[in-house]
Chain A
Amino acid sequence: MSRRPDRSEPPIRLPSHAAERVGLDRRRFLAAASGALGTLALAACDSMGPRSAKGVLMFAESGNEKLERVLFHHSSIDVPRSSAATAGSHFPAYFVSDQVPVWDEAAHGVWRLEVSGMVNTPLSLSLSDLSSLPRTGYKLDHFCVEGWTAVATRTGVRLADLAKLAGVRPGARYVDFQSFDSDYHESWDIESAMHPQTLIVYAQDGHYLNSAWGAPARVYSPVKLGYKNTKYLTKIAFLPERNGGYWSDRGYEWYGGV
Chain B
Amino acid sequence: MKRHHAVVRITHWVNVIALTIMIGSGLRIFNAYPAFARRGESFCCYPFEHQPIPAALTFGGWLAGARNWHFAMMWVLGINGLVYLAFIYLHGEWRDLVPRRGIVRDAREMVKFYLTVRKDHPVQGKHNALQRLAYFSMPIVGIMAVVTGIAIWKPVQLAWLTNLMGGYVWARYWHFWAMLLLVVLTVGHVFMVFTVDPYSIPSIITGKYRPELSPEARNARPFVHLLPTHHEPPAGS
Contact = CB atoms under 8 A, between A and B. Distances in A.
Interface of A: 3, 32-37, 43-44, 46-48, 56-57, 59-61, 63-64, 68, 71-73, 76-79, 81, 84-92, 141, 143-151, 222-223, 247, 250-253, 257-258
A47 B157 contact: no
Give the residue among B33, B62, B172 with the most A Cβ atoms within 10 A.
B62
A147 B40 contact: no
A48 B65 contact: yes
B215 interface: no
Contact of B159 (A76, A144, A247): A76
A36 B163 CA distance: 38
Given A146-B32, A147-B33, A86 B158 contact: no
Contacts of A33: 62-64
A56 to B, nearest CB: 6
A87 B156 contact: no
Contacts of B154: 68, 71, 257-258
List 9 tightest A-B contacts by C-beta distance, closest first: A47-B61, A60-B72, A150-B39, A90-B40, A146-B32, A251-B64, A87-B40, A87-B39, A146-B33
Interface of B: 29-30, 32-33, 35, 38-41, 55, 60-65, 67-69, 71-72, 75, 154-159, 163, 167-169, 172
Contact of A150 (B30, B40, B155): B40
Contacts of A68: 154, 157
A250 B159 CA distance: 29
A96 B169 CA distance: 27
The residue in B35, B40, B154 that gathers the most chain A C-beta atoms within 10 A of its C-beta is: B40
B156 A147 contact: no
A149 B172 CA distance: 11
Contacts of B155: 78, 141, 143, 258
Contacts of B64: 33, 44, 247, 250-253
A147 B29 contact: yes
A147 B32 contact: yes
Contacts of B72: 56-57, 59-61
Contacts of A81: 167
B40 A145 contact: no
B65 A43 contact: yes
B110 to A, nearest CB: 40
Contact of A251 (B41, B68, B157): B68
A250 B232 CA distance: 63
B138 to A, nearest CB: 24
Contact of A35 (B33, B61, B158, B169): B61
Given A86-B40, A87-B39, A144-B33, 11 more contacts: A47-B62, A60-B71, A71-B157, A76-B159, A81-B167, A91-B39, A145-B63, A148-B39, A150-B40, A251-B62, A253-B68
Given A60-B71, A61-B72, A150 B157 contact: no
A151 B68 contact: no
Contacts of A71: 154, 157-158
Best-buried of B38, B55, B69 by chain A (most CB within 10 Å): B38
Contact of A149 (B38, B60, B61, B71): B38
A195 B165 CA distance: 25
A205 B133 CA distance: 51
Contacts of A36: 61
B62 A35 contact: yes
Contacts of B167: 81, 84
